[in-house]
Structure 1
Amino acid sequence: MLNRWTQFLLSRAKFVLATGIVATIAAATYGLGVFDALGQGGFDDPSTDSSQELARERAVFGNKNVDVVAIFRSESLAATDPQFKADVEETLAGVPKDAVTSVLTAWDTGDPAMISTDGHAVQVLVSLAGETQNDQADSNDVVMPALERTAGDLEVDLAGPWAVYTGVNETVSEDLARAELITLPIVLILSLLIFGSLVAAAMPVMVGAISVLGALALVRILTLFGEVSVFSINVISLLGMGLAIDYALFIISRFREELAELPEDDENAARTAMRITLGTAGRTVLFSAFTVAVAMSALLVFPQNFLRSLGYGGIAAVLIGAVTALTILPAVLVLLGRRIDAGRMPWRRGKAVATDTSHGAWARLAHAVMKRPIVVMIAIVGLLLLVASPFLGVKWGSVDYRVLPPDHPAHVAAEKLNDQFGEEKSTANVLLETADETEIDSYVASASKVDKVLDVRPVETKDGVTLLRATWSGNSQTEASRGVVEDLREIPGPDGSKVLIGGLSADTVDLLSSIKTHLPWMGAIIVAAMLVLLFLAFGSIVLPIKAVVMNLLSISASFGVITWIFGGGHLEGFLDYSSTGFLDATQPIFMLAILVGLSMDYEVFLLSRVREQWDKDADSGMSPSDRNTHAVAVGVQKTGRIITSAALLLAVVIGGFSTSGIVFMKMIGVGMLVALLVDATIVRALLVPATMKLLGRWNWWAPGPLRRFWERYGIREA
Structure 2
Amino acid sequence: MENNVDDHGAVRDSRGRAPMITRLITPAIRAPKLVLALVGIAFLLCGVLGSQAAARLTNGGFVASDSESAMAADILAQNFGMSGMQLVLTLESDGGAQGPAATARGKDIATRLKSDNRVVKAVSLWTEPQLSSTLISRDGKIGLIVASVRGDENTAPAAAADIAKEYLGSRDGITIHAGGQGMVWSETGKQTQHDLALAEAIALPLTIVLLIWFLRSAVAAAIPFITGIAAIAGTSALLYLVTLFMDLSVFALNITTAIGLALAIDYSLLIIGRYREEIANGRDREQALILAMQRGGRAVAFSGTTVGIALIGMLFFPTTFLRSLAVAGLAVVALSIVLSLTLVPALLAVLGERINRKPLREARPVRESFLYRVARVVQRRPALCALPVLALLIMLGLPIFGLKLGMPDDRVLPTSLESRQVGDLLRERFDDNATGTVHIVFQLPNRYAQLGDLSAYSSALSQVSEVKAVTGPAGTYVGGKLAGPADPAGTDGDGGAHLTITSGVDPYSTGGQQQLTALRAVAQPAGVTTLFGGLAQQNADSAAGIKEGFPRAVIWIALTTFILLLLLAGSVVLPLKALVLNILSLSATFGALVWIFQDGHLGGLGTLATGYTIATLPVLLFCVAFGLSMDYEVFLLARFTEEWERSDKTRADNDNAVALGIARSGRIVTAAALLMSVIFLGIATSGVTMNRMLGLGLAVAVLMDATLVRMVLVPAFMRLMGTANWWAPARSRPLLEKAALRD
The TM-score by the shorter chain falls in which range?
over 0.9
Structure 1 segment 632-671 matched on structure 2, within 5 A = 632-671=658-697
Judged with a 3 Å threshold, the aligned counterparts in structure 2 of structure 1 residues 507 and 177 are, in CA distance, closer, same or farther, namely same
Structure 1 segment 374-393 matched on structure 2, within 5 A = 374-393=383-402
**C-alpha offsets along residues 330-370 of structure 1, whole Å, 9 cap, x if unaligned?**
1110121102247x6xxx6xx52626523422111111111
Contact 1:397 1:585 in 2 (8 A): yes
2:369 is aligned to 360
Shift of residue 487 of structure 1?
A: 2.5
2:143 is aligned to 122
Contact 2:91 2:102 in 1 (8 A): no
Structure 1 segment 72-91 matched on structure 2, within 5 A = 72-76=91-95, 78-81=97-100, 83-91=101-109
After the TM superposition, which segments of 4 or more aligned residues of structure 1 sit over 4 Å from their partners? 92-96, 149-153
**C-alpha offsets along residues 658-711 of structure 1, whole Å, 9 cap, x if unaligned?**
212222211112222221111000000010001111121222222234321221
1:430 is aligned to 440
Alignment partner of 1:457 out of 431, 448, 471 = 471
2:345 is aligned to 330
Residue 499 of structure 2 aligns to a residue whose secondary structure is strand
Judged with a 3 Å threshold, the aligned counterparts in structure 2 of structure 1 residues 305 and 66 are, in CA distance, closer, same or farther, namely closer
Residue 28 of structure 1 aligns to a residue whose secondary structure is helix
Gaps of 5+ in 2: 1-19, 473-486
CA distance in structure 2 between the aligned counterparts of 1:125 and 1:275, rounded to whole angstroms: 66
CA distance in structure 1 between the aligned counterparts of 2:225 and 2:174, rounded to whole angstroms: 51
Alignment partner of 2:252 out of 210, 232, 238 = 232
Contact 1:295 1:526 in 2 (8 A): yes
Residue 173 of structure 1 aligns to a residue whose secondary structure is helix
Residue 640 of structure 1 aligns to a residue whose secondary structure is helix
Matching of residue 106 in structure 1 with residue 114 in structure 2: no
Judged with a 3 Å threshold, the aligned counterparts in structure 2 of structure 1 residues 555 and 307 are, in CA distance, closer, same or farther, namely same
Q: Which amino acid aligns with 2:347?
A: V
Matching of residue 294 in structure 1 with residue 309 in structure 2: yes
Contact 1:106 1:123 in 2 (8 A): yes
1:588 is aligned to 618
Contact 1:658 1:670 in 2 (8 A): yes
1:198 is aligned to 218
1:304 is aligned to 319
Alignment partner of 1:2 out of 21, 26, 32 = 21
Matching of residue 536 in structure 1 with residue 567 in structure 2: yes
Q: Which amino acid aligns with 2:207?
A: V
Structure 1 segment 386-401 matched on structure 2, within 5 A = 386-401=395-410
Shift of residue 374 of structure 1?
A: 2.5
Structure 1 segment 544-563 matched on structure 2, within 5 A = 544-563=575-594
1:266 is aligned to none
Contact 1:296 1:315 in 2 (8 A): yes
Matching of residue 411 in structure 1 with residue 411 in structure 2: no
2:294 is aligned to 279
CA distance in structure 1 between the aligned counterparts of 2:160 and 2:105, rounded to whole angstroms: 22
Contact 1:406 1:578 in 2 (8 A): no
CA distance in structure 1 between the aligned counterparts of 2:685 and 2:126, rounded to whole angstroms: 44
Contact 2:413 2:688 in 1 (8 A): yes
Shift of residue 21 of structure 1?
A: 1.9
Residue 441 of structure 2 aligns to a residue whose secondary structure is strand
CA distance in structure 2 between the aligned counterparts of 1:302 and 1:670, rounded to whole angstroms: 24
Residue 107 of structure 1 aligns to a residue whose secondary structure is coil
Shift of residue 195 of structure 1?
A: 0.9
CA distance in structure 1 between the aligned counterparts of 2:692 and 2:430, rounded to whole angstroms: 31
Contact 2:184 2:409 in 1 (8 A): yes
CA distance in structure 1 between the aligned counterparts of 2:159 and 2:613, rounded to whole angstroms: 30
2:78 is aligned to 59
Contact 2:25 2:341 in 1 (8 A): no
CA distance in structure 1 between the aligned counterparts of 2:94 and 2:602, rounded to whole angstroms: 38
Judged with a 3 Å threshold, the aligned counterparts in structure 2 of structure 1 residues 78 and 689 are, in CA distance, closer, same or farther, namely closer
The worse-fitting range, judged by mean Cα deviation, of 39-48 and 498-507 is 39-48
Residue 229 of structure 1 aligns to a residue whose secondary structure is coil
CA distance in structure 2 between the aligned counterparts of 1:423 and 1:488, rounded to whole angstroms: 17
Alignment partner of 1:601 out of 615, 626, 631 = 631
1:178 is aligned to 198
The worse-fitting range, judged by mean Cα deviation, of 42-51 and 681-690 is 42-51
Contact 2:84 2:120 in 1 (8 A): no
CA distance in structure 2 between the aligned counterparts of 1:337 and 1:448, rounded to whole angstroms: 78
Shift of residue 424 of structure 1?
A: 4.5
CA distance in structure 1 between the aligned counterparts of 2:657 and 2:430, rounded to whole angstroms: 70
Contact 2:85 2:157 in 1 (8 A): no
Shift of residue 77 of structure 1?
A: 6.0
**C-alpha offsets along residues 81-124 of structure 1, whole Å, 9 cap, x if unaligned?**
2x533322333455572211001112332212212334343110
CA distance in structure 1 between the aligned counterparts of 2:608 and 2:503, rounded to whole angstroms: 24
CA distance in structure 1 between the aligned counterparts of 2:723 and 2:202, rounded to whole angstroms: 47
Shift of residue 13 of structure 1?
A: 2.4
Contact 2:235 2:257 in 1 (8 A): no
Judged with a 3 Å threshold, the aligned counterparts in structure 2 of structure 1 residues 438 and 144 are, in CA distance, closer, same or farther, namely same
Normalised TM-score (structure 1) = 0.93
Contact 1:542 1:700 in 2 (8 A): yes
Residue 367 of structure 2 aligns to a residue whose secondary structure is coil
Alignment partner of 2:642 out of 608, 612, 621 = 612
Q: Which amino acid aligns with 1:613?
A: E
CA distance in structure 2 between the aligned counterparts of 1:537 and 1:397, rounded to whole angstroms: 40
Contact 1:356 1:638 in 2 (8 A): no
Q: Which amino acid aligns with 1:684?
A: R
Residue 421 of structure 2 aligns to a residue whose secondary structure is helix
Contact 1:236 1:316 in 2 (8 A): no
The worse-fitting range, judged by mean Cα deviation, of 294-303 and 283-292 is 294-303
1:137 is aligned to 157
Gaps of 5+ in 1: 264-268
Residue 659 of structure 1 aligns to a residue whose secondary structure is coil
CA distance in structure 1 between the aligned counterparts of 2:291 and 2:243, rounded to whole angstroms: 39
CA distance in structure 2 between the aligned counterparts of 1:358 and 1:416, rounded to whole angstroms: 64
Shift of residue 152 of structure 1?
A: 5.2
CA distance in structure 1 between the aligned counterparts of 2:362 and 2:636, rounded to whole angstroms: 20
Aligned length: 699
Matching of residue 447 in structure 1 with residue 454 in structure 2: no
Judged with a 3 Å threshold, the aligned counterparts in structure 2 of structure 1 residues 238 and 532 are, in CA distance, closer, same or farther, namely same
Q: Which amino acid aligns with 1:202?
A: A
Residue 594 of structure 1 aligns to a residue whose secondary structure is helix
Judged with a 3 Å threshold, the aligned counterparts in structure 2 of structure 1 residues 301 and 78 are, in CA distance, closer, same or farther, namely closer
Matching of residue 270 in structure 1 with residue 285 in structure 2: yes
CA distance in structure 1 between the aligned counterparts of 2:454 and 2:615, rounded to whole angstroms: 35
Contact 1:543 1:699 in 2 (8 A): yes
State, as a whole percentage, how many aligned pairs show the same letter. 33
CA distance in structure 2 between the aligned counterparts of 1:446 and 1:87, rounded to whole angstroms: 38
Shift of residue 313 of structure 1?
A: 2.3
CA distance in structure 1 between the aligned counterparts of 2:259 and 2:43, rounded to whole angstroms: 18
Residue 501 of structure 1 aligns to a residue whose secondary structure is strand
2:55 is aligned to 36
Matching of residue 680 in structure 1 with residue 701 in structure 2: no
2:10 is aligned to none
Contact 1:270 1:333 in 2 (8 A): no
Q: CA-atom RMSD, angstroms? A: 2.1
Residue 253 of structure 1 aligns to a residue whose secondary structure is helix
Shift of residue 423 of structure 1?
A: 5.5
